[in-house]
């Protein structure tokens, strides 16, 4: 979120040999924030982790400090990944696949770590339906300070999908033409539109190519579409629990959720908290596709044989519905479901899905969750069959589709094995030469 205390902003000079030639540059755009070290102590102040162009600060505390008191260490710079998202603003009309357009576009994003000299350490993460750009928050165990993808070795980027309510342009954003939020009138987006938006951000960040492009579920759809659209955008592609075209089964689940949301008559009131009951019901439907019989049987079974109501499974569904209502928005949820349904790598590109998949040039790892009901392994096996030279792996999980978020240890093992095998191939090839 952007700080609205513009009148309290002040410039400050930071003296640090870490900044090289930028040792005396000014830092503005102040925001409430994070880790900072003053001589002899810690203060809730910090720098953004890569560009060191913004000082994230407690404004009241900052006013008491002198420039020469600010001393930053590499450790504190690396820990700045807890900051609020940065915002990329595109002040032109953004054309959509359906012929409509957005008068302007903002994309919220997080970066972690440092871009190396040759730009070869970029990991770009595409997130799933209701996630945000802080991948260190929702994919812990795979992304983190001590995990496979860490800010010491990699420069990690994750952007919030347009249509969401976590900082990127979406239904709660103001329509500059009408001077009020879009709400239900926000135009439908496609997966291709999301990729087009991220291409703008990639250019803004000056990133030529990714080491790895990775995503699961809807994030996998975005990653795949990107790898087909821009064949040289990434050296490696990791697709988890996703597909080449959203299935009738998946669309049916999504339509059931949209029906639940729109059955809430407040959906058409165009208010920020509209359709909260409908959104809770939609989440309950979605959970049935994310988990499965065995998951519920193990985690929600009632041991009290005298019960005739208020069952554990019932309270769990209500709890999860309320939990989503408290952190998400019904209008964004509908538009992101629409985007998922639009996913089809062959549309306006090739005659067949198989032909579209053959366009992928990145070294590709495809991972299935054995118990996934929503994106069953048959869909990932199809990807592996038609993406040239791809590698297929399957992990087991009692958590169904949600296994792609939960089974991070298994995912780390599979992904590490994939890159170790690729490295071995390169060594063998070099030895033969």
Q: Single out the residue in 37, 53, 82 at which a domain terminates.
A: 82
Residue 340 has pLDDT above 80, yes or no: yes
Q: Single out the residue in 82, 100, 130 at which a domain terminates.
A: 82
Whether 401 is catalytic is yes
DSSP state at residue 149: B
Looking at the structure, tell me whether residues 131 and 231 fall in a common domain.
yes
Looking at the structure, tell me whether residues 47 and 127 fall in a common domain.
no
Residue 255 has pLDDT above 90, yes or no: yes
**Domain of 71, in residue numbers:** 6-82
Looking at the structure, tell me whether residues 98 and 212 fall in a common domain.
yes
Overall residue count recorded for the chain in this entry:
433
In a domain, 325, yes or no: no
Looking at the structure, tell me whether residues 73 and 190 fall in a common domain.
no
Name the catalytic one among 372, 390, 397, 402.
372
Provide the pLDDT for residue 16: 31
Provide the pLDDT for residue 425: 74
Provide the pLDDT for residue 426: 65
- How many angstroms separate the CA atoms of 27 and 23, rounded? 11
Looking at the structure, tell me whether residues 35 and 91 fall in a common domain.
no
Residue 124 has pLDDT above 70, yes or no: yes
In a domain, 306, yes or no: no
Provide the pLDDT for residue 423: 76
Looking at the structure, tell me whether residues 97 and 244 fall in a common domain.
yes
Looking at the structure, tell me whether residues 123 and 233 fall in a common domain.
yes
Looking at the structure, tell me whether residues 61 and 151 fall in a common domain.
no
Least confident of 48-62, 93-107, 333-347: 48-62
Residue 165 has pLDDT above 50, yes or no: yes
The total domain count for the chain is 2
In a domain, 264, yes or no: no
Residue 206 has pLDDT above 70, yes or no: yes
CATH code assigned at 122? 3.40.50.1820
Looking at the structure, tell me whether residues 190 and 60 fall in a common domain.
no
**DSSP strands (E only) in 173-233:** 174-175, 180-181, 210-216
Spatial contact of 280 and 314, defined as CB atoms under 8 Å apart: no
Q: Single out the residue in 27, 61, 82 at which a domain terminates.
A: 82
Looking at the structure, tell me whether residues 106 and 187 fall in a common domain.
yes
Name the catalytic one among 133, 190, 196, 217.
217
Looking at the structure, tell me whether residues 52 and 191 fall in a common domain.
no
Name the catalytic one among 133, 164, 401, 402.
401
Percent of the chain as helix, strand, coil, to the nearest 5: 40, 20, 40
Looking at the structure, tell me whether residues 200 and 134 fall in a common domain.
yes
The pLDDT tens digits of the residues spanning 291-320 come to: 999 999 999 999 999 999 999 999 999 999
């Amino acid at each position: 979120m952007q700080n609205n205390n513009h009148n309290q902003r002040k410039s400050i000079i930071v003296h640090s040999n870490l900044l090289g030639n930028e040792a005396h540059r000014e830092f503005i755009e102040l925001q409430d924030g994070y880790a900072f070290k003053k001589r002899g102590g810690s203060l809730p102040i910090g720098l953004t982790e890569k560009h060191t162009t913004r000082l994230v600060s407690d404004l009241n505390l900052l006013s008491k400090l002198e420039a020469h008191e600010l001393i930053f260490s590499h450790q504190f710079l690396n820990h700045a990944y807890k900051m609020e998202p940065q915002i990329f603003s595109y002040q032109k009309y953004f054309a959509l696949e359906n012929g409509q357009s957005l008068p302007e576009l903002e994309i919220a994003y997080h970066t972690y770590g440092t871009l190396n000299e040759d730009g070869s350490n970029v990991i770009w993460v595409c997130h799933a339906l209701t996630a945000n750009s802080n991948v260190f928050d929702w994919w812990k165990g795979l992304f983190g300070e001590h995990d496979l993808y860490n800010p010491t070795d990699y420069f990690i980027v994750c952007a919030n999908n347009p249509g969401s309510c976590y900082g990127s342009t979406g239904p709660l954003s103001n329509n500059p033409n009408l001077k009020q939020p879009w709400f239900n009138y926000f135009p439908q987006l496609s997966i291709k539109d999301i990729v087009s938006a991220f291409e703008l951000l990639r250019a803004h960040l000056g990133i030529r190519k990714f080491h790895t492009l990775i995503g699961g579920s809807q994030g996998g759809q975005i990653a795949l579409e990107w790898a087909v659209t821009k064949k040289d955008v990434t050296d490696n592609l990791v697709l988890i629990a996703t597909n080449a075209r959203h299935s009738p089964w998946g669309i049916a689940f999504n339509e059931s959720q949209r029906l639940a949301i729109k059955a809430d008559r407040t959906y058409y009131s165009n208010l920020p908290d509209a359709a909260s009951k409908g959104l809770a019901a939609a989440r309950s439907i979605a959970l049935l596709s994310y988990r499965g019989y065995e998951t519920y049987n193990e985690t929600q079974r009632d041991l009290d044989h005298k019960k005739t109501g208020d069952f554990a499974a019932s309270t769990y569904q209500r709890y999860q519905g309320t939990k989503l209502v408290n952190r998400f928005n019904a209008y964004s949820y509908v538009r992101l479901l629409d985007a998922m349904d639009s996913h089809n790598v062959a549309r306006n590109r090739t005659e067949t899905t198989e032909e579209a998949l053959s366009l992928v040039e990145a070294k590709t790892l495809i991972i299935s969750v054995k118990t996934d009901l929503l994106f069953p392994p048959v869909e990932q096996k199809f990807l592996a069959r038609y993406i040239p030279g791809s590698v297929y792996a399957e992990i087991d999980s009692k958590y169904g589709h949600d296994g792609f978020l939960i089974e991070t240890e298994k995912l780390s093992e599979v992904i590490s094995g994939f890159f170790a095998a690729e490295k071995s191939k390169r060594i063998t090839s070099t030895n033969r030469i």
